[in-house]
C-alpha cells in the first residue's frame, strides 16, 4: 500500500480531535504534526503533498489520541509560550496562562530596562514570572520559591534555557511562612493557587484532570494562600517596595481587604482589572 500524504494524515487527525470535542481541532493537529514531522507552520503547509512513513504517522496518531483524551497540548508538546518566550512545561507545573502576562507588563511600567532591583516570585511554577522578569531586566536579580520540587526543577531548566540562571535562585520554601529575617525585596510577584475546592468540580476536565491541584486550589474558599502569604510579602518587601499578585476574578474585594488590613500595605492597595474587565491583579505598596 502506498504511503499516505501529510494532508490526509492531518485531516484524519482533525476528524479524531473534532469528534472528541477538542477546541480548534485543525490547529491542534497542526501543532502536534509540527512536533512529530519536525516542521514549522510554513513548512507544514508547503509539505502537505509529501508522503509520510508509517513510523512517524503512528507516533503522530498516538499524540493525537492523547490530545483527544483531554491531555492539554502544552503537556504533550512539553512547551508553552509566555510573553513571547518558550517555556518547558510538564505535568508537575501549571500551564502558563495569558492573563499572567499582565503582571509582567506591570513590572515594565514600574522599572526601566537598566534598573537594578531585587525581586521574588512566590509560587514560581514553571518559572515564567521570575525568568521573564530576569530576561527583560538584565540587572535584576531574583529568588523564586515553590513548595513543589518538580516545579522547581522545571523552573531551573527554564532559567538555564533563557540564560538567567546566574541571577535567579530557586528555593524550596513555603510562602505562607517567613522567607527572610530582613526586608530585602524591591518587588514581589505572586500567582498563588486561588480556586476554592468547589470550583474544582466546575472547571474543565482538561484542567482538573491534568494540572496539579496544589497549583490550583487554595482551601475551601480559595483565599487561604492570599491570607497566608500577604503578611510575609509585607515583611520581605523594603519600604516603598511593590507587590503584584494575580487573583481570581471574583476575589477583588476579599483580596483588597486582606492586603489593606495588613499594616504594611494599609492605604496603598489597588485592584486592577485584566483586559477582559475582570478584577485580576492586586497592586500593593509597602508603606
Quick check: 146 binds ligand SAM (CB under 6 A)? yes
Any bridge partners for residue 193, and if so which?
none
Q: Does 145 bind ligand SAM (CB under 6 A)?
A: yes
What is the crossing angle of helices 54-68 and 25-37, to 10°?
Answer: 140
CA dihedral 98→191→169→265, nearest 10 degrees, is 130
- Rounded Cα distance between 256 and 245, Å, is 11
Q: Is residue 234 at the binding interface for ligand SAM, with CB under 6 A as the rule?
A: no
> Using the rule CB under 6 A, is 32 a contact of ligand SAM?
no
**CA-CA-CA-CA torsion sign (205, 206, 212, 218):** negative
Our finding on whether 244 is near ligand SAM (CB under 6 A) is: no
Closest CA to 101 of 194, 199, 189, 222: 189
Residue in 34, 65, 71, 174 binding ligand SAM, rule: CB under 6 A: 174
Q: Return the range that interacts with ligand SAM (CB under 6 A); candidates 6-14, 31-39, 191-199, 267-275.
A: 191-199
Looking at the Cβ atoms of 68 and 247, the one nearer to ligand SAM is 247
Q: Which three cell numbers stand for residue 79?
A: 512547551
Query: Nearer Cβ to ligand SAM, position 9 or 179?
Result: 179
Stretch that binds ligand SAM, among 24-32, 71-79, 173-181, 254-262 (CB under 6 A): 173-181
Indicate which single residue of 106, 161, 176, 208 sits in contact with ligand SAM (rule: CB under 6 A): 176
- 248 binds ligand SAM, rule: CB under 6 A: no
Residues 6+ apart with CB under 8 A from 187: 107, 110, 111, 117, 118, 119, 120, 237, 241, 242, 243, 244
Q: Which helix (H) or strand (E) holds 285?
A: strand 279-285
Alpha carbon distance 273, 252 (integer Å): 9
Give the one residue of 111, 170, 175, 256 binding ligand SAM; rule: CB under 6 A: 175
Is 225 a binding residue for ligand SAM by CB under 6 A? The answer is yes
Number of residues that bind ligand SAM (CB under 6 A): 23
The stretch among 5-13, 25-33, 117-125, 235-243 that binds ligand SAM (CB under 6 A) is 117-125
**Residue 249: CB minimum distance to ligand SAM, A:** 14
50: left (phi over 0), alpha (psi -120 to 50) or beta: beta
145 and 171 Cβ atoms separated by less than 8 Å: yes
Query: Which of 14, 28, 100, 120 lies at the binding interface for ligand SAM (CB under 6 A)?
Result: 100
**Which residue ranges make up the site for ligand SAM (CB under 6 A)?**
94, 96, 100, 123-126, 128-129, 145-148, 151, 174-176, 191-193, 214-215, 225
Amino acid at each position: 500500500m502506498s504511503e499516505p500524504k501529510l494532508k490526509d494524515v492531518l485531516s484524519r487527525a482533525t476528524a479524531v480531535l473534532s469528534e472528541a470535542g477538542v477546541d480548534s481541532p485543525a490547529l491542534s493537529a497542526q501543532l502536534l504534526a509540527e512536533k512529530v514531522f519536525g516542521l514549522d507552520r510554513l513548512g507544514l503547509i508547503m509539505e502537505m503533498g509529501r508522503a509520510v512513513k508509517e513510523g512517524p504517522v503512528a507516533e503522530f496518531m498516538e499524540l493525537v489520541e492523547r490530545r483527544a483524551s483531554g491531555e492539554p497540548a502544552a503537556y504533550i508538546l512539553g512547551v508553552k509560550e509566555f510573553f513571547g518566550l518558550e517555556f518547558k512545561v510538564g505535568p508537575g507545573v501549571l500551564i502558563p496562562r495569558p492573563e499572567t502576562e499582565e503582571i509582567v507588563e506591570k513590572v515594565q511600567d514600574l522599572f526601566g530596562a537598566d534598573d537594578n532591583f531585587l525581586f521574588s516570585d512566590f509560587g514560581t511554577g514553571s518559572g515564567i514570572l521570575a525568568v521573564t522578569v530576569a530576561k527583560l531586566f538584565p540587572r535584576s536579580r531574583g529568588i523564586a520559591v515553590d513548595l513543589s520540587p518538580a516545579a522547581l526543577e522545571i523552573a531551573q531548566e527554564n532559567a538555564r534555557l533563557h540564560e538567567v540562571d546566574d541571577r535567579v535562585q530557586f528555593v524550596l520554601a513555603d510562602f505562607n511562612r517567613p522567607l527572610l529575617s530582613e526586608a530585602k525585596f524591591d518587588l514581589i510577584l505572586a500567582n498563588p493557587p486561588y480556586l476554592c475546592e468547589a470550583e474544582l468540580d466546575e472547571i474543565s476536565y482538561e484542567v482538573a484532570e491534568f494540572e496539579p491541584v496544589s497549583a490550583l486550589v487554595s482551601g475551601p474558599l480559595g483565599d487561604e494562600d492570599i491570607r497566608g502569604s500577604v503578611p510575609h510579602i509585607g515583611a520581605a518587601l523594603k519600604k516603598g517596595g511593590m507587590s503584584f499578585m494575580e487573583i481570581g476574578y471574583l476575589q477583588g474585594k476579599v483580596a483588597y481587604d486582606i492586603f489593606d488590613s495588613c499594616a504594611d500595605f494599609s492605604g496603598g492597595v489597588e485592584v486592577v482589572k485584566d483586559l477582559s474587565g475582570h478584577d485580576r491583579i492586586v497592586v500593593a505598596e509597602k508603606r
